Amino acid sequence: MIQESRQDIKSFTLAEMKEQMQELGEKSFRAKQLYEWMHVKLARSYDEMTNLPNALKERCGELFTYTSLEAVKIQESKLDGTKKFLFRLADGNLVESVWMRYKHGNSVCISSQVGCKMGCRFCASTLDGWERNLLPSEMLDQIYAITRLTGERVSNVVVMGTGEPMDNYENLLRFLTLLTDENGLHISQRNITVSTCGIVPKMRQLAEEKLQITLALSLHATTDEKRRKLMPIANRYSLDELMEACAYYFEQTGRRITFEYSLVGGVNDTKEDAEELIALARPLNCHINLIPVNPIKERDYVQSDKTAIEAFKNKLEKNRINVTIRREMGRDIDGACGQLRRSHIAKQS
């Protein structure tokens, strides 16, 4: 495949857009117009930009790429209205995103990479390996396309779909800048969560950006030994290093960390696990989100039974640890990460 050398227009900040217009000998207000079409009016192509001269649109078309997604499949849950979208990118790759309606507003869960290289044992996104990073614009496009398709404003964004956001750090940061920009969709930093399997140096780097976003750590186990069985990344960074990085994030940003803990029957759901989790959580200002594991057919992990989940939660609560059980949304529509994309690819081949 020929490598695309043109720059991606939707990943420019407004300041960069202004520089580009200056270089083209265009008036500066054209930058604002273009930016608004892309990031506020959510135009899918230059054709929709009715107040711009054709000559400028043609020039931009020659100089820059313009990303846009095509919805290949939309599944709607009959249980709770959750919608799962499968999108095709310009190069034919597929990504999935989820739209959830909550009392406090609509939330979108986006992917940050095509596939994933982290290899977590219970996760479907990683089974076919990693293909490529998503561009900032391709992360935005998932939110923009869903806003257009649902006709409703998105107020919360979670970067918890396929991929490891900290493994695509520069693009993630640019995406966050554009998403929260007052000249764009202007989503509040406090309404954004980024979830990581625990790449310690990047967690520390993110802390130093001093953003007001929530950092979620996929913990899933309470000892290094147990964590290594579930998550290969645990061979690189120990729990001690991870907890230090979490404390540092709180120290730098004042934002409470979220721990995600997927309960796997007979693997990490015992009384001892709960006690170890309490010991880990107690020194930190954190919130624990218990997720009943979503079984994938390629692995034999099973959900903890209801009584084990309740007992686990109660034990944490008794010890004054802030804990919730994640409501399972869209159980009936290929709920777990990466399942929709994978089942679609399997049907094609």
- As a 3-state breakdown, the chain gives helix, strand, coil percent values, each rounded to 5, of 40, 20, 40
User: Where in 135-174 is the site for ligand SAH (CB under 6 A)?
Assistant: 160, 164
Cα 330 to chain centroid distance, Å, stands at 17
> Does position 120 bind ligand SAH by CB under 6 A?
yes
Interacting residue with ligand SAH among 185, 192, 197, 286 (CB under 6 A) = 197
316 contacts ligand SAH (rule: CB under 6 A): no
Q: Which of 218, 222, 258, 304 binds ligand SAH (CB under 6 A)?
A: 218
Catalytic member of 26, 96, 131, 260: 96
Burial class (CB in 10 A: 0-12, 13-18, 19+), 77: middle
- Rounded to whole angstroms, the maximal C-alpha distance in the chain is 68
With CA atoms as reference, report the closest residue to 24 among 5, 44, 3, 9. Answer: 9
Smallest distance, ligand SAH to C-beta of residue 199, A: 9
Residues in contact with ligand SAH, counted by CB under 6 A, come to a total of 18
Least spacing, CB of residue 99 vs ligand SAH, in Å: 16
Q: Closest separation between CB of residue 12 and ligand SAH, Å?
A: 26
Instruction: Indicate whether 336 belongs to the interface with ligand SAH (CB under 6 A).
Output: yes
Distances (CA, A) of 108 to 123, 325, 343, 344: 19, 19, 21, 21
Of 136 and 198, which CB lies nearer to ligand SAH in the complex structure? 198
The one among 107, 168, 180, 195 contacting ligand SAH by CB under 6 A = 195
* 96 lies in the site for ligand SAH, by CB under 6 A: no
Residue 36 CB partners (closer than 8 Å, separation 6+): 183
Q: How far is the CB of 341 from ligand SAH (least distance, A)?
A: 13
By C-beta, is 20 or 107 nearer to ligand SAH? 107
Q: Mask: binding to ligand SAH, 21-60, rule CB under 6 A, as x and -?
A: ----------------------------------------
Please return the burial class of 15, using the count of CB atoms within 10 Å of its CB with bins 0-12, 13-18 and 19+.
exposed
Kindly state the tokens that stand for 143.
């939110």
At CA 40, angle to CA 34 and CA 44, rounded to 5?
70
**Contact with ligand SAH (CB under 6 A): which of 291, 308, 329, 340?**
291
96 a catalytic residue: yes
- The single residue of 60, 109, 120, 337 carrying the catalytic annotation is 337
Which member of 146, 267, 290, 337 binds ligand SAH (CB under 6 A)?
337
Task: Provide the terminal-to-terminal Cα distance of the chain, rounded to the nearest Å.
Answer: 21
185 phi/psi in degrees, rounded to 5: -70, -25
- Whichever of 96 and 260 has its CB closer to ligand SAH, that residue is 260
Q: Give the residue with the Cβ less far from ligand SAH, 21 or 197.
A: 197
Interacting residue with ligand SAH among 82, 137, 262, 304 (CB under 6 A): 262
Which of 114, 179, 203, 293 forms a contact with ligand SAH (CB under 6 A)?
A: 293
**Binder to ligand SAH among 131, 138, 260, 273 (CB under 6 A)?**
260
Q: How far is CA 255 from CA 164, 179, 180, 193, 208, in A?
A: 21, 19, 17, 11, 12
d(CA 95, CA 83): 14
Query: Do 158 and 195 meet the contact criterion of CB atoms below 8 Å apart?
Result: yes
Tell me if 304 contacts ligand SAH by CB under 6 A: no
Q: In whole angstroms, give the CA distance from residue 37 to residue 290.
A: 40
- Annotated catalytic residues are 96, 337
User: Where along the sequence are the contacts to ligand SAH (CB under 6 A)?
Assistant: 118, 120, 122-123, 160, 164, 195-197, 218, 260, 262, 291, 293-294, 296, 336-337
